């Protein structure tokens, strides 16, 4: 069987299942903006954009126009490769990269992966627009959200099957499409994100831990925060205020922050200076003792796994939006996770059973719950153990791959060739 994956980056959500299929003897090809090449038996075909939206176009329409250019680029790249004859196409919706492919492969079934359906205001799912910061969101931002789903709606209409990574994310889509959508998580790689035995795990850590080239002595507690970008939608400002309060209540603590000083999601850029980052904005609002923080930037998965296994507490905050891999990675490492009481987090964490929850906006409550853990890590270890078990049983790669294989097989069998996947 030949599976064609479509995503602007490689390998994104599809790397683990593609590698598994190759090991089973199937062929996998990625069409992507990542440079062409081959890796672990997977061929990459690069597509290049030949145009895009301009400032002359309507603000609300630019996103859709850009996705159409993506569709065009993917189509043109694959048209030059008549040797690629897939039995199944799997693509990430939202970037608009699969819409034209039925013109090339009219009989090939198509699966789309969906992450989030945007809503014009915060009335349905929460607070994508962080108005608590005193920022007045221009009405055009709300209007644009009414247009951002256009390509996803086309994909929902045209795909053979669909899936989303969590129940919450599926729930954001129109109810009339729910029957077409399954829920299958991306999968946590337990060979990377696990507890590393008991050597690193608190509270049995008897020796210091080296992080970012610095030694953290045994008596010093470690609190971690991980986000691809430091921004309001992931509560970076709230984390910083909570961290300052934690140090007032429990001084023997160091905060290890992983990620990039950039804005990945949301509307922060509209309210910042021309060259200002959200981190800079936060640091200008209040005073923080930065000697308490270790900003590591981006780290390798292996380094992140070791860090999450060693942390005394992992804080994860998000508005109702896509769930970050980092929280699931922390749970898989056996970390005690303190998360925001928002729907995507509440789907995974039950307060007091496999983690802790606090109000997203209440940095004092976050600090109080954090300090309780730091004062007695042993009492909270069962939460981390329960979190790790949940990932192992339900969300690890070993659990997810069979679900994806069943989806692939059932969808492929709707096409002309009923190629059977080897199940594991």
Give 37's contacts (C-beta < 8 A, 6+ positions apart). 43, 44
Of 111-115, 138-142, 221-225, 370-374, the poorest mean pLDDT is in 138-142
The CATH class that applies to domain 209-395 reads alpha beta
* Whether pLDDT at 194 is above 80: yes
* Whether pLDDT at 419 is above 60: no
For 210-243, b where at least 16 C-beta lie within 10 A, e where not — what string? Answer: ebeeeebeeeebbbbbbbbbbbbbbbbbbbbbbb
For residues 53 and 61, the answer to whether their CB atoms sit within 8 Å is yes
Q: Is the peptide bond before 414 cis (omega within 30 degrees of 0)?
A: no
Judged on CB neighbours under 10 Å (0-12, 13-18, 19+), 80 is exposed
Banded pLDDT at 139 (limits 50, 70, 90) = confident
Q: Quick: pLDDT tens for 331-352.
A: 999 999 999 999 999 999 999 9
* Whether pLDDT at 160 is above 80: yes
Q: Is the pLDDT higher at 420 or at 274?
A: 274
> Quick one: how far is CA 399 from the chain centroid?
18
* Whether pLDDT at 245 is above 80: yes
Dist. CA 309–CA 410, nearest whole Å: 38
* Whether pLDDT at 422 is above 50: no
Judged on CB neighbours under 10 Å (0-12, 13-18, 19+), 286 is exposed
* Whether pLDDT at 101 is above 80: yes
Question: Of the spans 89-103, 123-137, 183-197, 396-410, which averages the highest pLDDT?
Answer: 396-410
For the chain, give every residue range classified as CATH 3.40.50.2000. Answer: 2-187+397-412, 209-395
Q: Is the pLDDT higher at 187 or at 137?
A: 187
Q: Quick: pLDDT tens for 247-280.
A: 999 999 999 999 999 998 888 888 888 889 999 9
Residue 145 has what pLDDT? 83
**What's the CATH number of domain 2-187+397-412, 3.40.50.80, 3.40.50.2000, 3.40.50.2300, 3.40.50.300?**
3.40.50.2000
Residue 402 has what pLDDT? 97
Structure tokens at 36: 């062409």
Percent of the chain with pLDDT over 90: 80
Residue 58: how many other CB atoms lie within 10 Å: 13
* Whether pLDDT at 127 is above 50: yes
Banded pLDDT at 424 (limits 50, 70, 90) = very low
């Amino acid at each position: 069987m030949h599976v064609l994956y479509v995503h602007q980056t490689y390998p994104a959500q599809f790397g683990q299942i593609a590698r598994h299929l190759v090991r089973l003897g199937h062929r996998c090809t990625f069409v992507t903006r990542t440079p062409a090449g081959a890796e672990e038996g997977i061929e990459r075909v690069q597509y290049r954009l030949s145009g895009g939206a301009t400032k002359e176009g309507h603000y609300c329409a630019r996103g859709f126009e850009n996705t159409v250019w993506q569709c065009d680029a993917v189509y043109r790249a694959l048209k030059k490769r008549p040797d690629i004859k897939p039995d199944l196409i799997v693509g990430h919706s939202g970037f608009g990269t699969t819409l034209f492919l039925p013109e090339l492969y009219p009989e090939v079934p198509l699966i789309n992966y969906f992450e989030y359906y945007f809503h014009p205001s915060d009335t349905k799912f929460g607070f994508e627009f962080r108005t608590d910061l005193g920022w007045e969101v221009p009405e055009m931002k709300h209007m644009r959200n009414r247009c951002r789903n256009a390509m996803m709606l086309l994909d929902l209409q045209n795909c053979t099957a669909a899936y989303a990574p969590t129940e919450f994310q599926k729930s954001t889509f129109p109810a009339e499409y729910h029957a077409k959508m399954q829920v299958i998580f991306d999968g946590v790689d337990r060979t990377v994100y696990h507890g590393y035995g008991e050597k690193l795990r608190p509270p049995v850590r008897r020796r210091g831990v080296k992080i970012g080239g610095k030694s953290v002595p045994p008596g010093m507690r470690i609190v971690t925060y991980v986000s691809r970008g430091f921004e309001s939608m992931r509560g970076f400002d709230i984390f910083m205020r909570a961290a300052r309060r934690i140090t007032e209540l429990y001084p023997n603590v160091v905060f290890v922050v992983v990620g990039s000083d950039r804005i990945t999601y949301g509307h922060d850029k509209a309210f910042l200076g021309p060259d200002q980052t959200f981190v800079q904005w936060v640091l200008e609002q209040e005073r923080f003792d930065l000697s308490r923080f270790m900003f590591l930037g981006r780290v390798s998965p292996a380094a992140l796994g070791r860090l999450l296994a060693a942390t005394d507490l992992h804080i994860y905050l998000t508005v109702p939006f896509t769930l970050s891999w980092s929280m699931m990675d922390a749970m898989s490492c056996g970390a005690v996770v303190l998360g925001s009481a928002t729907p995507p987090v509440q789907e995974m964490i039950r307060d007091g059973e496999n983690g802790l929850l606090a109000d997203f906006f209440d940095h004092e409550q976050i600090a109080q719950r954090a300090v309780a853990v730091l004062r007695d890590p042993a009492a909270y270890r069962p939460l981390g153990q329960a979190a790790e078990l949940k990932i192992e049983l339900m969300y690890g790669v070993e659990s997810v791959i069979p679900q994806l294989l069943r989806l692939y097989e059932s969808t492929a069998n709707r096409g002309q060739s009923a190629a059977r996947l080897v199940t594991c």
